[in-house]
Amino acid sequence: MKRLILILAALVACGASSSTLAQLDATETEDLLFMREEEKLARDTYLTLYDRWSQNIFQNIARSEQRHMDTMLDMIQYYGLEDPVTDDTVGAFNNPVLATLYDDLIERGSASLLEALHVGAYIEELDIGDLRAAIDRTDEVLLINAYENLLAGSRNHLRAFVSQITWFGIDYVAQVLDQDDVDAIVEGTDPPANEGFTINAGLNDSWFNPATKGQGFFITVYPGIKTVFLAWFTYDTEQPDASVTANLGSPDQRWLTAQGVYDGAQAEMEVKVFAGGLFDTGTPEPEGVTDGSILLQFENCNSGSVTYDIPSIGRTGTIPIERISLDNVPHCEKLAESDGTP
């Protein structure tokens, strides 16, 4: 999204005015203004549910929704429109439908944590459907790019909420979209929002799932050999007995590595688990054992997924990931416009 801001700034610097810029028709205008407030609905709902349940997933995704709001505001200002968000207070909306929906969602999400997670999934399904419709109703390239970036984020957020819901032992039932559509999004088998995206060195960064605290990935891309390296920092599947101790850190900490060749927006990787070494010494030499596979996929410079299959623990799943910081996004987007090499 920083790239969009740079594009807009460049247009202004070149002397573009509202009279020379493309004009939106009534439907495009209505869609853009609505999406600005719908992103606020998501942000406000998650902030309120975080206050109620103190679950990091709501706070983390609320930050992402704020970025989505900012993106829509950039578009509104670019096209010379009036911002519908005249009061940024949580729960304040100009659109009466969204105001009523906010109240209904907060009431529902306050009943239990499980209901709150379902509220989050409902919002993301709603957002995905509305973004797809808005994309179909415009031919403005800048607007389509902005919507597609938001769409990639919403798909990741849906995966995160569904992942939390399944931990309750419940199969998620679609609330807005078709069940097959939701299943494809959650499983990562649906067509990517940005089909032309290619992995590049601008993805080198720290990545995490907003739903899980204290875990994440370091990802490094080597364009010269078309290879991606991934380090996964996580925990064991069960808490160890209280009698189990460690000299450094916690005995439940785990890290895995994976490496593989990438093609387009994905990389098929072999998982390695190392054991037998000691802190800051080369002896004894640790041994690595292959333990499953990872399919690493990216939708854009800030949204991706890790689909894993680890036979030793009988676990498979898909983890939505996003950057911890957006500092490297402009570099990634610049490389994505070229052949992916620096």
pLDDT tens, residue by residue, 261-300: 998 888 989 999 999 999 999 899 999 999 999 999 898 8
DSSP-derived secondary structure letter, 192: P
Per-residue pLDDT reduced to its tens digit, 137-181: 999 988 988 898 899 889 989 999 998 999 899 999 999 999 999
Q: Is residue 2's pLDDT more than 70? A: no
Burial code (b: 16+ CB inside 10 Å, e: under 16) for 145-173 equals: bbbbbbbbbbbbbbbbbbbbbeeeeeebe
Q: Is residue 256's pLDDT more than 50? A: yes
Q: Position of tokens 């067509």? A: 191
Q: Same CATH topology for 2-187 and 201-337?
A: no
User: 3-class SS at 144?
Assistant: helix
For 96, 219, 240, the CA distances from 305, given in Å and listed in that order, are: 36, 12, 28
Q: Is the distance from CB of 175 to CB of 119 less than 8 angstroms?
A: no
Q: Is the distance from CB of 129 to CB of 177 less than 8 angstroms?
A: yes
- Residue 23 structure tokens: 């004009």
- Residue 340 structure tokens: 């992916």
Q: Phi, psi at residue 290, to the nearest 5°?
A: -70, 130
For 181, 184, 194, 231, the CA distances from 191, given in Å and listed in that order, are: 10, 9, 8, 26
> Which ranges of 14-112 does DSSP label H, i.e. alpha helix?
26-53, 56-78, 96-109
Nearest to 158 by CA among 183, 178, 180: 183
Taking the C-alpha atoms of residue 172 and residue 8, their distance in angstroms, rounded to an integer, is 40
What topology is assigned to 2-187 in CATH?
Ferritin (1.20.1260)
Q: Is the distance from CB of 63 to CB of 5 less than 8 angstroms?
A: no
Q: Is residue 90's pLDDT more than 80? A: yes
For 78, 180, 297, 319, the CA distances from 188, given in Å and listed in that order, are: 33, 12, 8, 9
Q: Is the distance from CB of 305 to CB of 157 less than 8 angstroms?
A: no
CA angle (107 as vertex; 102, 111 as ends), nearest 5: 140
Q: Is residue 201's pLDDT more than 70? A: yes
Give the residue extent of every domain in the chain: 2-187, 201-337
Residues 113-141, mean pLDDT to the nearest whole number = 97
Per-residue pLDDT reduced to its tens digit, 227-248: 999 999 999 999 999 899 999 9
Looking at the DSSP bridge assignments, the partners of residue 216 are 233
Mean pLDDT of the chain: 89
Q: Is the distance from CB of 105 to CB of 121 less than 8 angstroms?
A: no
Q: Phi, psi at residue 59, to the nearest 5°?
A: -65, -45
pTM over 0.95: no
For 86-102, give the DSSP string: S--STT--SSHHHHHHH
pLDDT at position 22: 67
Taking the C-alpha atoms of residue 175 and residue 125, their distance in angstroms, rounded to an integer, is 7
Taking the C-alpha atoms of residue 200 and residue 203, their distance in angstroms, rounded to an integer, is 6
Residues 102-126, mean pLDDT to the nearest whole number = 98
Number of H helices, E strands in the chain: 8, 8
Nearest to 85 by CA among 74, 97, 98, 94: 94
What CATH number has the domain spanning 201-337?
A: 2.40.160
Taking the C-alpha atoms of residue 44 and residue 62, their distance in angstroms, rounded to an integer, is 7
CA angle (239 as vertex; 318, 274 as ends), nearest 5: 65
| Contacts with 186 (C-beta within 8 Å, 6 or more apart), sequence order | 158, 159, 162, 172, 318
CA angle (140 as vertex; 134, 145 as ends), nearest 5: 70
Q: Is the distance from CB of 176 to CB of 129 less than 8 angstroms?
A: yes
